[in-house]
A and B are shown apart, each in its own frame.
Chain A
Amino acid sequence: MADGPVAEVLLRQLAAADGGLDSAELAAKLGVEHQAVVGAVKSLQALGEIIEAELRSTKRWELTAEGEEIAREGSHEARVFRSIPPEGLAQSELMRLPSGKVGFSKAMSNKWIRVDKSAADGPRVFRVVDSVEDEVQRRLQLVQGGQAEKLGEKERSELRKRKLLTEVTLKTYWVSKGSAFSTSISKQETELSPEMISSGSWRDRPFKPYNFLAHGVLPDSGHLHPLLKVRSELRQIFLEMGFTEMPTDNFIESSFWNFDALFQPQQHPARDQHDTFFLRDPAEALQLPMDYVHRVKRTHSQGGYGSQGYKYNWKLEEARKNLLRTHTTSASARALYRLAQKKPFTPAKYFSIDRVFRNETLDATHLAEFHQIEGVVADHGLTLGHLMGVLREFFTKLGITQLRFKPAYNPYTEPSMEVFSYHQGLRKWVEVGNSGIFRPEMLLPMGLPENVSVIAWGLSLER
């Protein structure tokens, strides 16, 4: 475009001009669109100091489409007036004219016409005066002729209210010669080509400068889901800390593994239909490890392993009920049960990150499924201090360093602690996770040795 015909003309005109020229005037003179001149100005500007252009905005009055029609054919009221013959016209007929409605009321208020309601065949309209001055048409013609300034402010705003006039802002450039002004500009190369390299012609050619402010073209690529990227990061943290990943590829779980094995009593609110998705089909688990089930039943209903138990009538039917797991702790329970069957006991560190389900109605703060992150360490002589130590390392790797711990209640851990971290943005402590030492009533029926403690913590990936 730099050497487009408009640009060339512009440079020639500028060479001859005294001081500078206006882009709009030039467009009018050349009979081209103003936009074409603006394009030429911009491409010349891109070449460096050839021209200087100063943006000016001017306001101008223009006729609307309706305004132009009136300037041409007369105002609606004048047209109505003209269409009434001396013997008058039926009002119903007049209303059918294109200008009828608007013109009638205006002509009435100008007192150019009158209505005779007592006429034989319905109301009839008659002229009141012999001739009229069409002021509206005259004013619009003035504006059309570029003499808008001859109209008063009030007259203009009245016409604008009738949507006959609009005020438009015109952005024009005042173009003047630049420090490197020349009428002969050579064509600038846009890109280096293989031919230029082989012929060496690049040495003699000027190149168009790049606009480094423009954005690049985004690479054509796929993306990973942001939440799952965080999942990968957390997996990596656990692996770095020596934790082995537990299998969690079973969304369907029996109430036994999801609740009973965790010493969560059968009347616990979490086992309510309102909170948990139960299954219609397959409604019940087909197999349960019955030896272990009996130990669990005894612990719930009578106690044992140093516990008073919950002292209620534990029901196998309740334990068989299938559900969508409400936490991945059910998978941890299975992993710990498997660990307990291995003799002699070997210490273990486990983790999992997977989906869990709650019977919620979806809204901005509730999801029916989300990802739970869980870490578990089983070893001889683990303490609450160890749990806090592991949590500190874990959260430090996540970039969370300010931690404090609050006593809490979980049905299957005791002691239990909620983990809070100080949120710099919210300027308060917010809960980031839940943790504790699994209850002996959960571990001993599995067959784990008495002096083995299992510390565990969980958090949600979505938080």
Chain B
Amino acid sequence: MPTVSVKRDLLFRALGRTYTDEEFDELCFEFGLELDEITSEKEIISKEQGNEKAEGASDVVLYKIDVPANRYDLLCLEGLVRGLQVFKERIKAPVYKRVTPNGEIQKLIITEETARIRPYAVAAVLRNIKFTKDRYDSFIELQEKLHQNICRKRALVAIGTHDLDTLSGPFTYTAKRPSDIKFKPLNKTKEYTACELMNIYKTDNQLKHYLHIIENKPLFPVIYDSNGVVLSMPPIINGNHSKITVNTRNVFIECTGTDFTKAKIVLDVIVTMFSEYCENPFTVEAAEVVFPNGKSYTFPELAYRKEIVRADLINKKVGIRETPENIAKLLTRMHLKSEVIGDGNQIEIEIPPTRADVIHACDIVEDAAIAYGYNNIQMALPKTYTIANQFPLNKLTELLRYDMAAAGFTEALTFALCSQEDIADKLGLDISATKAVHISNPKTAEFQVARTTLLPGLLKTIAANRKMPLPLKLFEISDIVVKDSSRDVGARNYRHLCAVYYNKNPGFEIIHGLLDRIMQLLNVPPGEKKGGYVIKASEGAAFFPGRCAEILARGQSIGKLGVLHPDVITKFELTMPCSSLEINIEPFL
């Protein structure tokens, strides 16, 4: 969930009133926001870097507000204020207009070289805008928030904003060999080639995260003006030449990306949020983008879409009984201008360009419910009549768990993921013999594979509890995972029961006795006949030679029991003899 940080006093001034922290928290909650933290720059720095560094930092109160991940229109102060003011019916939702300039329209021409790296671009102009320090900061911060969220860290979309008065169109969006791109990047004093920049930014804490998007590609995307000035090398850095400042009056915005839909949404969000500060508020100057196939489009789209939803559908989905007129009012408060039409039960809803999250009637239903107030909805119990069933494997597990504890064994809960070493080397096996599934991207060695046996988890639990009085008697009934090409995903779980006995003596008879008790509970008689069970001398890498037996029940092998090999004991950093039992319980369903 993105967090937007806004200055409290600035927010209250824009809202036209002040709130106590509690009142504002309540308002957020109702609207689906969360007042996450009340802090200040000073507090943040002192928390992160110590009191000394915080000396002199601003102590203006900041509200950190959590915004739902799909509400890009609430990612800045301007959007939050507009959203809340319309919600509280203090203002009407503005109508965003795209205008064609009297003079020449700004043009961005995409060349075909971009197709292989970053094929889409959109653009627009904010004409005669008036920034202040706070507005400018918010403008930069919104771009950063969009980059981090909908733009997927610039992989899908990257935004460039430029002082149009320093440039001269038409602009060309192309892709070139990195060694052929040379310009003075933002906040640098000299020119570098793209290759040099990629090296320099390897140590830049902010930019290093974006390098992988184009690194090692033969061609890098780049935008030029008609004089060959570099506007930006998306998605890494803008040029210094067209850098915007608080005094910039005309802003050229370009968004390049690999996802056309998202690029259009991002552009719409930026211009709808900041056209407020243009000489003609909420109007945006169009720009023309010519695609390699020669087709030309005008942006921003600023499309208003209409949906018709029946009032009784909304009532039925939410569980309320409101008149169509009231529902239209509720929706209008959510920035969805609505009116009752047709037979008087239909509501026509206008979805503005700021609400890209509304893609289905269910999104409209939710907004009606939010405006109605979730906590005002009458609760009811569904009349759904059903008979409950347990999942048979879990039912069996539950029954066995209680009896294992009654037999004096203590239940452990261990991780299903572990290192290769745990399930192979430490048990005297080769990893290829385990049929284990392997994780491709673990952050640490503890999560290399899914366990193929419960034994390592229990032995690690004992190692962590060596100080406890002996004997240690542990068990776990849980799932292991192995590859299985007969399953749709190529792997399956098995429900295993594992028990260990750790003491000064191996206690094979105790583990054996536990097996006898389990079989008694499962109603499996001793002996080979009539679906009974026997144990037969066997061997296993984890066991001491001559102290291992295979367990055969109902005609199939279900596992092994025995005294653990001293090498296994040592590798798990244990010092006492230990016997263990591990069986698959699925045959007893």
CA distance A220 to B409 in the complex (A): 10
Kindly list chain B residues whose C-beta atoms are within 8 Å of the C-beta of A359. Answer: 441-443, 447
Residues on A with C-beta less than 8 A from B441 are: 273, 277-278, 359
Q: Contacts A225-B412, A389-B381: A281 and B483 contacting too (C-beta < 8 A)?
A: yes
In the complex, are the beta carbons of A408 and B386 less than 8 A apart?
Answer: no
Interface assignment of B468: CB less than 8 Å from any CB of chain A: no
B384–A349 touching, CB < 8 Å: yes
* Residue B69 is within 8 A (CB to CB) of chain A in the complex: yes
- Residues on B with C-beta less than 8 A from A310 are 261, 359
B68 touches A322 (CB 8 A): no
Query: Across the interface, do B375 and A385 meet the contact criterion of CB distance under 8 Å?
Result: no
Contacting B at CB under 8 A, from A135-170, are none
From 318 to 364 in chain A, residues with beta carbon under 8 angstroms from any chain B beta carbon are: 322, 324, 347-349, 355, 357, 359-362
Residues of A within 8 A of B1 (CB): 409
Please, which residues of chain A bring their CB within 8 A of the CB of B384?
347-349, 377, 379, 382
Give the shortest distance, in Å, between A453 (CB) and chain B (any CB).
Answer: 7
User: B residues within 8 A CB of A408?
Assistant: 32, 68
Question: How close is B73's CB to chain A, nearest CB, in angstroms?
Answer: 13
Tell me the bound Cα distance from A308 to B362 in angstroms. Answer: 12
Is B360 within 8 A of A361, CB to CB? Answer: no
Q: A223 near B405 (CB under 8 angstroms)? A: yes
Does A208 touch B at the CB level, under 8 Å? no
Q: Is B243 interfacial (CB-CB < 8 Å)?
A: no
Taking the closest CB of chain B, its distance from the CB of A62, in whole angstroms, is 36
Assess the A253–B360 pair: CB atoms within 8 A: no
Q: Is the CB of B437 closer than 8 A to any CB of chain A? A: yes
The verdict on A108 contacting chain B, using a C-beta distance below 8 Å, is: no
The answer to whether B386 and A440 have CB atoms under 8 Å apart is: no
Bound-state Cα–Cα, A306 to B309, Å: 11
Inter-chain contacts of A244 with B (CB < 8 A): 386-390
Which residues of B373-387 are within 8 A (CB) of A?
374-375, 377-387
B440 partner residues in chain A, CB cutoff 8 A: 277-280, 283
Contact across chains for B492 and A250 when beta carbons are under 8 A apart: yes
0/1 string, B542-580, CB within 8 A of A gives 1 = 000000000000000000000000000000000000000
B379 touches A389 (CB 8 A): yes
B149 closest partner in A (C-beta): A269
**Interface code A442-463, partner B: CB below 8 Å = 1, 0 otherwise?**
0000000000010100000000
One of B52-60, B313-321, B337-345, B529-537 contacting the partner = B313-321
What's the Cα separation between A221 and B402 when bound, in Å? 12
| Chain A: number of interface residues, binned into ranges | 35 or more
Answer whether A440 and B442 are a contact pair too, CB < 8 Å, given A286-B489, A287-B488: no
CB distance from B482 to the nearest CB of A (A): 10
A355 and B152 CA atoms in complex are apart in Å by: 28
Q: Does A405 contact B (CB under 8 A)?
A: yes
Chain B residues whose CB sits within 8 angstroms of the CB of A439 once the complex forms: 360, 362
Q: With A223-B411, A232-B398, A278-B439 in contact, is A384–B488 under 8 Å at CB? A: no
For B31, list chain A residues within 8 Å (CB): 407
Known: A244-B386, A383-B380. A225 touches B413 (CB 8 A): yes
With the chains together, A285 CA to B489 CA distance in Å? 4
Stretch at the interface among A2-10, A19-27, A235-243: A235-243
- Chain A residues within an 8 Å CB radius of B491: 250, 252, 279, 282, 322
Whether B437 contacts A249 by the Cβ 8 Å rule is no
- Give the Cβ gap from B309 to chain A, nearest Cβ, in Å: 9
Contact partner of B417 (CB less than 8 A), chosen from A247, A280, A285, A369, is: A369
Cβ–Cβ contact B388 & A251, under 8 A: no
| A415 and B365 contacting across the interface, CB-CB below 8 Å | yes
The residue in chain A whose Cβ has the minimal distance to the Cβ of B150 is A267
CA distance A383 to B402 in the complex (A): 39
Q: A383-B319, A414-B365 are in contact. Are A406 and B374 (CB under 8 A)?
A: yes
Contact across chains for A238 and B438 when beta carbons are under 8 A apart: no
In whole angstroms, what is the CA distance A251 to B261 when docked? 34
User: Residues of B contacting A251 with CB < 8 Å?
Assistant: 416, 450, 479, 481, 493
Nearest Cβ in chain A — how far from B111, in angstroms?
Answer: 21
Q: Which residue of A lies closest to B66 (CB)?
A: A408
Q: Which residues of A contact B439 (CB under 8 A)?
A: 277-280, 324
* A228 adjacent to B411 (CB under 8 Å): yes
- CB of A417 closer than 8 Å to a CB of B: yes
Residues of A close to B363: CB separation below 8 A: 414
The number of chain B residues touching the other chain, given as a range, is: 35 or more
Contact of B156 with A388 in the complex, beta carbons under 8 Å: no
Q: How many Å lie between the Cα of A384 and that of B362 in the bound state?
A: 12
A279 touches B437 (CB 8 A): yes
The residue on A at minimum CB distance from B362 is A414
Nearest CB on A from B389, distance (A): 4
Q: Which residues of B contact A283 (CB under 8 A)?
A: 440
Chain A residues within 8 Å of B70, by CB? 409
B388 and A222 form a contact (CB under 8 A): no
Which residue of chain B lies nearest to A334 when distances are taken between CB atoms in the complex? B488
**Is the CB of B34 closer than 8 A to any CB of chain A?**
yes
Query: Smallest CB–CB gap between A98 and chain B, Å?
Result: 42
Is B71 among interface residues, defined by CB-CB distance under 8 A?
A: yes
CB–CB A307/B390 < 8 A: no
Of all chain B residues, the one with the shortest Cβ separation from A239 is B388
- The reply to whether the CB of B407 lies closer than 8 angstroms to some CB of chain A is yes
Determine if B408 is an interface residue (Cβ-Cβ < 8 Å): yes
User: Which A residues are CB-close (under 8 A) to B156?
Assistant: 267
Are B405 and A407 interface neighbours, CB within 8 A? no
In the assembly, what is the distance between CA of A415 and CA of B320, in Å? 14
1/0 contact string of B432-456 vs chain A (CB within 8 Å) = 0000011111111011001000000
Inter-chain contacts of A453 with B (CB < 8 A):
317
A312 at the interface (CB under 8 A from B): yes
Name A252's closest neighbour in chain B (CB-CB). Answer: B491
State the CA gap A343–B320 with chains docked (Å).
30
Docked CA distance A235–B402 (Å): 15
Q: Annotate B15-35 by CB proximity to A: 1 below 8 A, 0 otherwise.
A: 000000000000001011010
B343-385 interface code vs A (CB 8 A; 1 in, 0 out): 0000000000000010111110110011000110111111111
> Does A416 interact with chain B (Cβ within 8 Å)?
yes
Top 10 closest pairs, chain A to chain B, by CB: A385-B319, A407-B32, A383-B319, A282-B490, A409-B68, A415-B366, A280-B440, A245-B391, A308-B359, A389-B379
Which A residues fall within an 8 A CB radius of B?
220-225, 227-228, 232, 235, 238-254, 267, 269, 273, 277-288, 303, 305-312, 322, 324, 347-349, 355, 357, 359-362, 368-369, 377, 379, 381-386, 388-390, 392-393, 404-409, 414-417, 437, 439-441, 453, 455
Instruction: Pull 19 A–B residue pairs with CB atoms less than 8 Å apart, ordered by A.
Output: A223-B405, A242-B385, A245-B390, A248-B391, A251-B416, A253-B489, A254-B488, A278-B439, A280-B438, A286-B489, A324-B439, A348-B386, A349-B388, A379-B383, A383-B316, A383-B380, A385-B378, A408-B68, A409-B70
Binding site for A on B (CB under 8 A): 1, 29, 31-32, 34, 68-71, 152, 156, 259-262, 316-320, 357, 359-363, 365-366, 369-370, 374-375, 377-391, 393-394, 398, 401-402, 404-413, 415-417, 437-444, 446-447, 450, 473, 475, 479, 481, 483, 485, 487-493, 495
Q: For the A-B complex with A249-B495, A406-B29 known, give 13 more contacts whose Cβ atoms are closer than 8 Å.
A: A222-B407, A223-B410, A228-B401, A232-B398, A242-B386, A242-B388, A244-B388, A244-B389, A355-B479, A377-B384, A384-B374, A390-B381, A416-B366
